[in-house]
Every structure is written in structure tokens, then in C-alpha cells.
Structure 1
Amino acid sequence: MASIVVQAFVTLDGVTQGPGGPEEDVAGDFPYGGWQFDYDDDGTVGEWEKNTEALLLGRRTYEIFAASWGVWSEDEEGFQGELTRRYNRIPKYVASRTLSEVGWKNSYLLGPDVPAAVDRLRAEPGGEIRVWGSTELVRTLAEHDQVDEYRLLVHPLILGTGKKLFGDGFPYSRMSLVESRSTPAGVLVNVYRRAGD
């Protein structure tokens, strides 16, 4: 059985919007794009990504990823090349109410019944299905008790504005903390699993 793992860069006030660059997600005139780059994650994300066997993304995150990982050269040195190669090869499942096709290789639309499609994915043999960004999708997954694990890199930063991973009205969820440590840059690495798992 595959597991759904939500991975996120988060600020102390819960913001997860636009960590990767100034133009990554400017919805709501968000002024702090790229906030995550001032912090080193000490290789944590690289280690986690070695276990990624598929991506599960909302439309906006899919489009951001397709326009970056989907077009960058696989010949790049280091982490960028490694992740580009991995992301190009693994399946990418996209939850969207507006897209009728997806162009990044090995990408598939989930269709109108996202929870049922995710149940089918989870029932298949496999490892970790990674969710990045995709706050609306994460909420839908949580409403249907489909998130197996949250991996949060909590940054010592307060932005005061932006999309939050766990916004108002997020479904009640009991979690168990299974790992917690800090990086030299002061980023807290917290891993939570559903309570009882």
C-alpha cells in the first residue's frame, strides 16, 4: 500500500505560500516569494526525496513544477539535476477542475472524483506519494483522512500574510510527532503521522 506524504516549507505563522522564488505564487499580491532560500535544510529534503515514487499535486503547484522541474536540464550537477531526473521519471497525478490535459511527461489527471482516485492510488503497491504545496488539495485529502504523514520544515520566520497549510476550517486531525530536530539554520524538522498509526 502506498502512503500519502505531505511535505512543506512552513513559517512560524503557518504560511506555506511561495517559498521557492519571487514569482512562484504571487496570489493575493504576496510580497515574500522565495522566503525559504535564506535557510539551509541540511540535506533533509534531498534524503526525503529519495523515497518519492510519485507526486500528487494540485493544478497551481503542478503548473509551477512543470515550468521548472519539467523543463530544467537533467544534466545539472547536484540536487537540481538529481531531482529533475527523478521528477521527470515518476508519475505525477494532478487534481484539477479546469485542466483537460497535462503536458509534462508521465503526468495524469485524476478526474472529477479526487478522493476516489486517491483511494485507488493508496491501494496500489508502492512507497511514498509526495504532496508539495497544493493547499486546497491537502485540505481535501485531510477531509477524507487520506494523509498518512506530514513532514514540515518550520522556519524561524513570521510573514503575517500568505496562504497557510492549515487555514481556518481545516479538518480536525490527531497526529503523533515521530521525529523532531533542528538544523544549524534553526529550521525545525517535524514529522507527524496519524495518531494510532
Structure 2
Amino acid sequence: MGKIVLTSNVTLDGVVQDPDGEEGFDRGGWFHQYVGAKDLQDWVARETQEALAAEVLLLGGQTNEWFADRMTQRNVAEGRVSPEWANRVRSMPKYVVSSTLEEPRWSNVTPLRGDAVKEVSQLKRKVDGEILIYASYQLARTLIEHDLLDELRLVIFPVVLGTGLRLLDGTSDNKPLHLVDARKLGDGLVFYAYEFAQG
């Protein structure tokens, strides 16, 4: 059985909205504003290691489009994305929860068009290893609500925005977690990994 892991960049007050500043959020762009060279180096190394260890990617429709744009050869050539990470993400099997995805823009994509909970439950039974979710916050909240998410990995950026879309808004009940990893990345980032308590 697979292990579903959500990995996310997040501000100290839990905001995940518009890290690169491309969505027009007035407090967007915090990813590059509050990260130094050593931070970025360690962040890229962690992301790459995580992708190499995972079996498949699970994405929502909008996140799928974002990563299809981001993981291009041009971005690799321009130094925006590490080659090893981009190559791994491009080559991985990708499952996309979307009722509208017709022609995927990159390879190894399987659309999941039905009920998200049912489709992801079947995927979890089928995959042996880690099922990695990037962003896809609406999907992540649904999986948390139905106790399908196994682990939460967060890279905390040293800024408080005070407003914006937060990762864990909207759960209907308490969701206990256990800390399984914590470490500093670079000079200013902190990585935390939590497993959801089952039962």
C-alpha cells in the first residue's frame, strides 16, 4: 500500500498562497524574497532527494499545469530548476485529479476523473511506495478530511504575511500528528515532517 505525502512551502503563519508572485496576491512572491543562496541550495537538495525517493506524483489540475510549465528544459537551462529534480519529476508517473484534463502537456500523466476520494483510495492500494503531492491544496484538504493523507512535510519560510490562503484551513475535526523529522535548511528555513495519527 502506498504512503501519501503532501510536501509544501509555507510561511510561518501557515500561508501557502502565491509563493512565486505570479498569481497577483498582494503579498505574493515570498519564496524568493525570504530565501538566501544557502537556503535555496539546501531546499533544492531536499526537493530532489524527496522526488527521487517517491514512486508517483499526485496533483490537482491547476498544480499539474503549473509544474508542466515549470519543469521544462528551458527552465533547467536558465538555472531556474535543478536538472536532476526536473528530470525526475518529468519522468515520474503522474496522476492528476481533474474532470477537465483532456490532453496532458507532459508525459506519464493519468487523469483521475471520478470521485477524488475513491480514485485516490484505489491509487493508494495500487502503489507500493510514496505518493507525493505538490501543492494541490484543495485535494490535500479533501484527503485530510477523509484520513487518506499519511504525512505532511513543510518547509517554513521566515515571514509572517498576516493574510492569505492557509494550508490547513477548513478541517471539520481535530487531526492529531506526530513529529517525525525537524531540521534547519540553509541559514533561515526549517523543515518539519509530521505523520497523521491513525485511528
Q: Which amino acid aligns with 2:6?
A: V
The CA deviation string for residues 77-122 of structure 1, in whole angstroms up to 9 with x for no partner, is 7962112211121111111233334232111111121111111111
The CA deviation string for residues 149-168 of structure 1, in whole angstroms up to 9 with x for no partner, is 00111111111222211113
Q: Compared with structure 1, are the counterparts of its residues 72 and 172 closer, same or farther at alpha carbon in structure 2 (3 Å cutoff)?
A: farther
Q: Compared with structure 1, are the counterparts of its residues 79 and 122 closer, same or farther at alpha carbon in structure 2 (3 Å cutoff)?
A: same
Which residue of structure 1 lines up, in the alignment, with residue 21 of structure 2?
22
The CA deviation string for residues 9-39 of structure 1, in whole angstroms up to 9 with x for no partner, is 01011111222x221xx1xx41243322232
Which residue of structure 2 lines up, in the alignment, with residue 133 of structure 1?
135
**Structure 2 contact 75–81 (Cα < 8 Å) conserved:** no
Separation in 1 of the partners of 2:194 and 2:16? 17
Which residue of structure 2 lines up, in the alignment, with residue 33 of structure 1?
28
Comparing 76-85 and 112-121, the one that deviates more: 76-85
Q: Which amino acid aligns with 1:105?
A: S
Q: Helix, strand or coil for the counterpart of 1:118?
A: helix
**Structure 1 contact 74–82 (Cα < 8 Å) conserved:** no
Query: Identity across aligned pairs (percent)?
Result: 37
Separation in 1 of the partners of 2:105 and 2:66? 13
* Structure 1 consecutive aligned stretches of length 4 or more whose deviation exceeds 3 Å: 73-79, 168-171
155, 160, 163: which one aligns with 2:162 = 160
Q: Which amino acid aligns with 1:72?
A: Q
**Matched ranges for 1:1-197 at <5 A:** 1-19=1-19, 21-23=20-22, 26=23, 29-37=24-32, 38-39=34-35, 40=39, 42=42, 43-69=45-71, 71-73=72-74, 76=77, 80-169=82-171, 171-195=173-197
Q: Helix, strand or coil for the counterpart of 1:67?
A: helix
Separation in 1 of the partners of 2:162 and 2:67? 26
Which structure's residues are more often helix, by fraction?
2
Comparing 100-109 and 172-181, the one that deviates more: 100-109
Runs of 5+ consecutive residues of structure 1 not aligned to the other structure: none
Separation in 1 of the partners of 2:27 and 2:58? 25
TM-score (norm 1): 0.86
Q: CA RMSD in A?
A: 2.3
Q: Helix, strand or coil for the counterpart of 2:82?
A: helix
Shift of 1:172: 2.8
Separation in 1 of the partners of 2:107 and 2:196? 32
Q: How many pairs are equivalent?
A: 191
Q: Which amino acid aligns with 2:179?
A: L
